[in-house]
Structure 1
Amino acid sequence: MSKKPMFKHAFYFISDSTITDICAIEQAKEACKNELFAFQYREKGKCMDEMIAGAKGIAAVCRKSKVPFIVNDSLEVALAVDAGGLHIGQTDVEYAIARKHLGNDKIIGVTANSVKDAEKAVALGADYIAAAPIFKTATKKDAGDAKGIAFARGVAEIAKGAGMPVVGIGGITLENAYSVLGAGVFTVCAISASLRDGRIKETVSRFNEIIKSK
């Protein structure tokens, strides 16, 4: 029997230390004061040792708060800290390789930049799909063009039959989250909106109110 945690119907928090002075572990401490779908450690431009050291501290925070801890991109970091799972994009490590190394009890999420990507993620047996980018985003430079609400709806419909949650990401704000959730996605992530004003706990709480109202 799988030991994977059940995903809560709550905000998906992704760390980013490039748009705020708040370090990743403090982001985790504040975000985890709320219910979360998961906390993803996403730090670009750091060496492997720095990433592992940072991930260890955040893993402890998430474990204490009973929040699934996901590492972005790096299978090596996920294995080094015994993370709850790994998130991979279309150009990262292949799903089959990640699953082989992580085992069946770990979460693997996959980014879908197209309906075809979503269909592939379902066929592979991913644990969730991140539909991206819904709107234009400056957080991820290579995210590509905004896909729109119709794209979010299409991915949600594909995943629904497999009982797979979909996370809407890319340019999400407190104002447009309603329309994204209305397209049928399970939850949303909003890196810039959750970090820019420094009020992480309060902003995540507001997102959760919107998510739970759907």
Structure 2
Amino acid sequence: MSKKPMFKHAFYFISDSTITDICAIEQAKEACKNELFAFQYREKGKCIDEMIAGAKGIAAVCRKSKVPFIVNDSLEVALAVDAGGLHIGQTDVEYAIARKHLGNDKIIGVTANSVKDAEKAVALGADYIAAAPIFKTATKKDAGDAKGIAFARGVAEIAKGAGMPVVGIGGITLENAYSVLGAGVFTVCAISASLRDGRIKETVSRFNEIIKSK
């Protein structure tokens, strides 16, 4: 029997220390005061040793809060800290390789930038799909053009038959989250919106209210 945690119907938090003075571990401490779908450690521009050191502390915070801890992109970091899982984009390590190294009890999420990507993620057996980018975003420089609500709806329909949760990401705000969730996605992630004003706990709580109302 799989030991993977059940995903809570709650906000998906992704760290980013480039748009705030709040360090990643403090982001985790504040975000984990709320229910979370997962906490993803995403720190660009750091060397592997720095990432592993940072990930260890955050992993401990997430374990204490019973929040799934996901590492972005780096299989090496995920393995080094025994993370709860790994999130991979279309240009990252292949799903089959990640699954081979992580085993069946770890979470692997996959970014879908198209309906075809979503179909592939379902066929591979990913644990969740991140549909991106829904709206224009400045957080991820190579995210590409906004895909829109119709795209989110299409990915949600594809994943529905497999019972796979879909996360809407890219330009999400407290104001437009309703429309994204209305397209059938399970939850949302909003990096800029959750970090820019420094009130992480309160902002995540507001997102959770919206998510749970759908």
Residue in 2 that maps onto 1:207 = 207
Distance in 1 (alpha carbons) for counterparts of 2:39 and 2:53: 16
Aligned to 1:108, the other structure's residue is in SS state strand
1:2-34 CA distance string (max 9 Å, x none): 000000000000000000000000000000000
In the TM superposition, residue 93 of structure 1 has moved relative to its aligned partner by 0.0
1:108-139 CA distance string (max 9 Å, x none): 00000000000000000000000000000000
Distance in 1 (alpha carbons) for counterparts of 2:61 and 2:55: 10
| C-alpha RMSD of matched pairs (Å) | 0.1
Residue in 1 that maps onto 2:18 = 18
Distance in 2 (alpha carbons) for counterparts of 1:47 and 1:101: 21
Aligned to 1:197, the other structure's residue is in SS state coil
Distance in 2 (alpha carbons) for counterparts of 1:147 and 1:37: 23
State TM-score, norm by structure 1. 1.00
Aligned to 2:17, the other structure's residue is in SS state coil
In the TM superposition, residue 106 of structure 1 has moved relative to its aligned partner by 0.0
Aligned to 2:2, the other structure's residue is in SS state coil
In the TM superposition, residue 181 of structure 1 has moved relative to its aligned partner by 0.0
Residue in 2 that maps onto 1:186 = 186
In the TM superposition, residue 187 of structure 1 has moved relative to its aligned partner by 0.0
In the TM superposition, residue 201 of structure 1 has moved relative to its aligned partner by 0.0
In the TM superposition, residue 161 of structure 1 has moved relative to its aligned partner by 0.1
In the TM superposition, residue 57 of structure 1 has moved relative to its aligned partner by 0.1
In the TM superposition, residue 207 of structure 1 has moved relative to its aligned partner by 0.0
In the TM superposition, residue 46 of structure 1 has moved relative to its aligned partner by 0.2
In the TM superposition, residue 70 of structure 1 has moved relative to its aligned partner by 0.0
Map 1:51-70 → 2, pairs under 5 A = 51-70=51-70
Q: Count the aligned residue pairs.
A: 214
In the TM superposition, residue 192 of structure 1 has moved relative to its aligned partner by 0.1
1:149-184 CA distance string (max 9 Å, x none): 000000000000000000000000000000000000
* Gap regions ≥5 residues in structure 2: none
**Identity %, equivalent residues:** 100
1:83-106 CA distance string (max 9 Å, x none): 000000000000000000000000
Distance in 2 (alpha carbons) for counterparts of 1:44 and 1:170: 17
In the TM superposition, residue 68 of structure 1 has moved relative to its aligned partner by 0.0
Distance in 2 (alpha carbons) for counterparts of 1:28 and 1:80: 19
Distance in 1 (alpha carbons) for counterparts of 2:4 and 2:63: 13
Distance in 1 (alpha carbons) for counterparts of 2:194 and 2:44: 18
Distance in 1 (alpha carbons) for counterparts of 2:119 and 2:126: 10
Aligned to 1:111, the other structure's residue is in SS state strand
State TM-score, norm by structure 2. 1.00
Distance in 2 (alpha carbons) for counterparts of 1:143 and 1:18: 16
Residue in 2 that maps onto 1:114 = 114
1:42-65 CA distance string (max 9 Å, x none): 000000000000000000000000
Distance in 1 (alpha carbons) for counterparts of 2:148 and 2:72: 24
In the TM superposition, residue 199 of structure 1 has moved relative to its aligned partner by 0.1
In the TM superposition, residue 212 of structure 1 has moved relative to its aligned partner by 0.0
